[in-house]
Amino acid sequence: MRVPEEKAALLRIFIGEADRFEGKPLYEALILKAREAHLAGATVLRGPLGFGHRSRIHSAKILRLSADLPIVVEIVDSEEKIRDFLPNVNAMMTGGMVTLEKVTAWHFTDPKQE
């Protein structure tokens, strides 16, 4: 069952797999912090290939295994809640890039699980 659309914000955090925060992977720390902030949803995506501002290729090719593959953390909620969360991101990151965009969200629920 789909509920009516709503305006939301999508926060994308581009980091490397090797990035850390307080001894744990940064992507894990970001997800846990987003959950603690009761944000609507978050997902970690691992990229097989990418490059950052230094143009260094990060690849998962068999002949050249990278220990620092691209990671994208996506977090969705209202723009207000996302903006309130941004100081946490700022405090946790030492490099990378963050983008914020307005999106339209639809929530789907299974009526059997309600």
| Distance from C-alpha of 65 to C-alpha of 69, rounded to nearest angstrom | 9
| Distance from C-alpha of 32 to C-alpha of 42, rounded to nearest angstrom | 9
Per-residue pLDDT of the chain (114 residues; tens, 9 = 90+): 778 899 999 999 999 999 999 999 999 999 999 999 999 999 999 988 887 766 666 665 655 555 678 999 999 999 999 999 999 999 999 999 999 999 999 988 877 765
Question: For domain 19-105, which architecture applies?
Answer: 2-Layer Sandwich (3.30)
CB 28 within 8 Å of CB 18 = no
Residue 98 half-sphere exposure toward CB, CA atoms < 13 A: 20
| Distance from C-alpha of 81 to C-alpha of 105, rounded to nearest angstrom | 15
- In the chain, where are the structural domains located? 19-105
| DSSP structure string for 25-81 | EHHHHHHHHHHHTT-SEEEEEE-SEEE-TT--EEE--TTS--SS-EEEEEEEE-HHH
| Distance from C-alpha of 98 to C-alpha of 77, rounded to nearest angstrom | 15
pTM, 2 dp:
0.86
